[in-house]
Chain A
Amino acid sequence: MKSFNYHAPKDVKDASKLASSSSAFLAGGMTTIPSMKLGLASYKDVIDIKNIKKLSGIKVSGKSVTIGATTKHAEVAASKDVKKAIPALAKLAGNIGDAQVRNRGTIGGSISNNDPSACYPSACMALNAIIHTNKRSIDAEKFFTGMFDTALKSGELVEAVEFQIPEKADYQKHPNPASRYAIIGVFVAKHKKDVNVAVTGAKSCVYIDKDLSKKLSSNFSSSAIDGTEVKSSGMNSDMHASAEYRANLVSLYTKKAVEAC
């Protein structure tokens, strides 16, 4: 690992001021630190945001669940409020990586990194989340722009993620047997007016499967999508799973999620 300046600001303003083109924000460090250790990334300044108190915590209102950026997966998984308001979100958090990862990894880190096979982005998309940064609020669908890419600008920091509470929701994941990242993950959320089927792991970036969402919006039952072919074109194909296998899993796990709702 190359040497770097370590900063631990106490508030978001200071953190933002320290940011530059050769800096990185550090939350749980579940991706940043291994990347640095392997020499895949190096930074002049590493800005640790874990000491910024207001970035951590869970708030529930009648309509939404807001989770601070540095809240750990284990905290979301164990939160009684989250379990009550959006049990699928607690379930998702409880199945990320392993216990060590869940006790360090954070929601802000996960979505800012936007790994194509991370779990949280699918929840953001399906639950119409609003990503609050130190500069603005961004709709989830505009936040995730591509593989490891987001709408975040230099110096912009995720402060919290606000999820809309659905009527029903479920998350189903087919984990990569080695890394336990999602080979595919499907987050199904039934809101008052419509249904969102968000898919992670299948393509270079999380997306809403419009066809499945539409069919389930008119009839929220797994039979509504019987025989619906999920196309494999554009899906990832690698040594862990072919595009065809992923396409099969997307349709299968969507059904599983609907049935679990």
Chain B
Amino acid sequence: MASLVGSRVERKEDTRFLQGKGRYTADINIANQTYAVFVRSPHARAKIKSVDTSKALKSSGVVGVLTGKEIAEDKIGGLIAGWAIRSEDGSEMKVPANPPLAKDVANFVGEPIAVVFAETLDEAKEGAEKVKVDYKVLKAVVDPADAMKSEAIHDGVDKNLCYDWLLGDRKAVDEAFSKADKIIKVDLINNRLVPNAMEPRACVVDYNIASEEITLYTTSQNPHLSRLVMSAFGNVAPENKLRVVAPDVGGGFGSKINVYNEEIVCSWASKKIERPIKWVAERTESFLTDTHGRDHITHAELAVTNDGKFLGFKNETIANLGAYARVFGTVTPTYLFGPCATGVYIIPAAYSNVKAVYTNTAPVDAYRGAGRPEATYTIERLVEKAAMELGMDKTEIRMKNFPTQFPFKQTLVHTVDSGDYVAGLEKAKQMADYAGFEARKKQSEANGKLRGIGVSSYFEACGIAPSAAVMSLGCGVGLWESAEVRFNPTGQISVFTGAHSHGQSHDTTFAQIAADELGVPMENIDVVHGDTDKGTFGMGTYGSRSLTVGGIAIVNACKKIVEKGKRVAAKMLEVNLDEVEFKNGEFVAIKSNKKKTIGEVAFACYLPGQRDEMKSPIPEGDEPGLIESSFFDPANFSFPAGSHICEVEIDPDTGNVKVEKYTAVDDFGRIVNPMIVEGQVHGGIAQGIGQALHENTQYDETGQLMTASYMDYTMPRADNFPEFNLGFTCTHATSNPLGVKGCGEAGAIASPPTVMNAVIDALGGQEISMPATAEKVWEACKAMKKSNAKAA
């Protein structure tokens, strides 16, 4: 039987998604449900003097109104930061309380203050309008650059500083810099992004009065983790009385990792009002309250020799956490950022210093790539600038500093198990026709256009991952993954996973690997996920971890199935265990060539008794049934890497930037389904081009989000992209038995610097910040014309 791993199997999910048969949270309705509408702060920072619910309670159809007072009285816990990060001086990070309903102070526009439940959505909206909140508006802290100089927005958080973190060795860096021929410097802004999952957040809660069990249907990337957090920290219900179901989820990009206010409030309230509750975010609520991404201000320097060798790297960053520290909020700008900031290069000395500050804006958390896009943007802007200042070719300077020996002990934290960075860049150059660029540039110039080429090489640490490592870095939980494989008596197989698919095609990929392990057609396999009542446990999907952690748990559980199958088959075939071989779904007695299919063996496992001549097939010491589970905790992160090359053409009259060519060569180790992986890369590149050229989150000075709808927030669209030219180099990972590496975030990590390097190249080296919108580029073109005229 041909291996399914490696083949472009069509997605099992497509049938339901393309026919509109997906079942999302908002599609779920429970008899007798009420509708929830949240009363949200219209101010970025305000004291809540009083909340008057009396008129709302009398409003037509209103079933109940709850506020921060009641939730505090019931001792329901708040939202949490999942990672404890220490400052350079050893002190613990400062984390303010984040109650599900703000009681005393509101800290960003959209923060929930109260909730109204009513028989219809319209009645709930009317009721919400009648909740009277008396605010004392305070001066908001909005700009992260000013946060440390501004009044503290949280009690006990001096200078609005969560932590002042250091990774690396300042002294060694100073020494390296003193030996440099040249210091390359950049000042960068990594622009804040709104995740914009296609499906807005939603939850439906059903409280069973008889069993006292709460069932929460929600838009989560990690239902098991949500249950754990809501139970352990939220005090909503004991874990065994809380079932969390994340059915089809339409995109997350990190914004659906967190347990949000609305889920905690509705779960708690359902028990209180003894009615089911449904809440679906409107798009504006998503803009205002989904966790945002990025938002760094960085000054970075690279010490180089005249012949282009890198000696040292440093970066000083202010990371905006927004109003509160959430699950991955504190680790994203530290351990997900700093270790990757030295990129794919041998740099003997390095440090990253990050000051994370609170502001009166939406909380910032993991967003596709989480920390690694910021890291890659920092180093790759520096490297490109170094090439420009040293008069070297962009690719030559990179090759010169690539490691060629693996495992590669990277400067700050990671030991990269495998890779071939030179081969990746060579292949990208060839696919992009790098050599032909000058001719294309001339052609563009003849048409009155400017043309630029940009390169970036990246590696990233994903597949989070080794519990020992992440817990030592401050993670509050272990990040293993579990799987259970149930071989049913009639031959169908259910594969339960703790990973969660919200666009990653697990139904297909996981079925491919299980089918290969068990030697059965993948049609026989159902992948089951997203329900804490189904399967064992799991930490969910983010950080490109599903395949490298969750997929391996499936492989291991399948191997246990085969091992047990062998013991049973040996008894059935009446041979010794070491005389049985498993191949293509059959247990074969090597000497006699007698066979039992895995289906026959599975069936026999459920018939342990004796009848007529049939003897029990279950060997002594074994139990009946054929169900196995596995918890996998890898020894290392996975380290995808690659090189991307982009060409842009700029119309100097309008400033319009057109992405003309985009080439990506990535190393994701062994690829299970190339079609799905290409889809992941396409999506990531699209998001990265969005960050580089289009997406522009803007708060005004009072903390109002100016870009809170698609009228003002530019999402990239299909006509913003060329055909992406994708290639792969596949050096297998050594940290897992499949040799796979994560692929979900790479596109979004590599593309922003690639595009910006191309734009800046076209602009003759003029710095420009993301997003490079038409007007900004037009201004730069005018400046360029002026300086060219002067030079002439």
Contact = CB atoms under 8 A, between A and B. Distances in A.
A239 B712 contact: yes
B710 A178 contact: yes
Contacts, number: 37
B712 A178 contact: yes
Interface in B670-707: 694, 696, 698, 706-707
A99 interface: no
A151 interface: no
A245 B713 contact: no
Interface stretch (B8-16, B454-462, B520-528, B771-779): B771-779
Contact of A178 (B654, B715, B775, B778): B715
Contacts of B713: 178
A245 B122 contact: no
Given A1-B122, A177-B694, A178-B715, A249 B710 contact: no
Contact of B711 (A2, A179, A242): A179
Contacts of A2: 122
Interface in A86-100: none
B653 A178 contact: no
B536 interface: no
A217 to B, nearest CB: 25
B714 interface: yes
A40 to B, nearest CB: 12
Contacts of B706: 239
B122 A177 contact: no
Nearest to B711: A179
Given A1-B122, A177-B773, A177-B774, A240 B653 contact: no
Interface in B627-669: 653-654
A245 B694 contact: no
Nearest to A174: B654
A101 interface: no
B715 A3 contact: no
A201 to B, nearest CB: 14
A1 B775 CA distance: 37
Contact of A242 (B707, B715, B775): B775
A218 interface: no
Secondary structure dominating the interface of B: loop
Interface residues of B, number: 20
Contact of B714 (A1, A177, A241, A252): A177
A101 to B, nearest CB: 12
A178 B690 CA distance: 11
B698 A239 contact: yes
Interface residues of A, number: 18
Secondary structure dominating the interface of A: loop
A252 B654 contact: yes
Interface in A138-182: 174, 177-179, 181
Contacts of B125: 39
A121 to B, nearest CB: 18
Contact of A179 (B122, B284, B696, B710): B710
B122 A3 contact: yes
A241 B777 CA distance: 12
A223 interface: no
A51 to B, nearest CB: 26
Nearest to A179: B711
Contacts of B654: 174, 249, 252
Nearest to B713: A178
Contacts of B710: 178-179
A6 B696 CA distance: 39
B778 A248 contact: yes
A252 B775 contact: no
Contacts of B714: 177-178
Nearest to B698: A239
B574 to A, nearest CB: 68
Nearest to A249: B654
Given A179-B710, A239-B698, A239-B712, A252 B653 contact: yes
Interface in B738-792: 773-775, 778
Interface in A171-204: 174, 177-179, 181
Contact of B775 (A38, A39, A241): A241
A245 B775 contact: yes
Contacts of B122: 1-3
Nearest to A181: B711
Nearest to B121: A1
A118 to B, nearest CB: 13
B712 A179 contact: yes
A249 to B, nearest CB: 7
Q: Which 8 A-B pairs have the closest CB atoms?
A: A178-B714, A177-B714, A179-B711, A245-B775, A252-B653, A178-B712, A241-B775, A239-B698
12 contacts: A2-B122, A3-B122, A177-B694, A177-B714, A178-B711, A178-B713, A179-B710, A179-B711, A239-B712, A242-B775, A245-B778, A252-B654
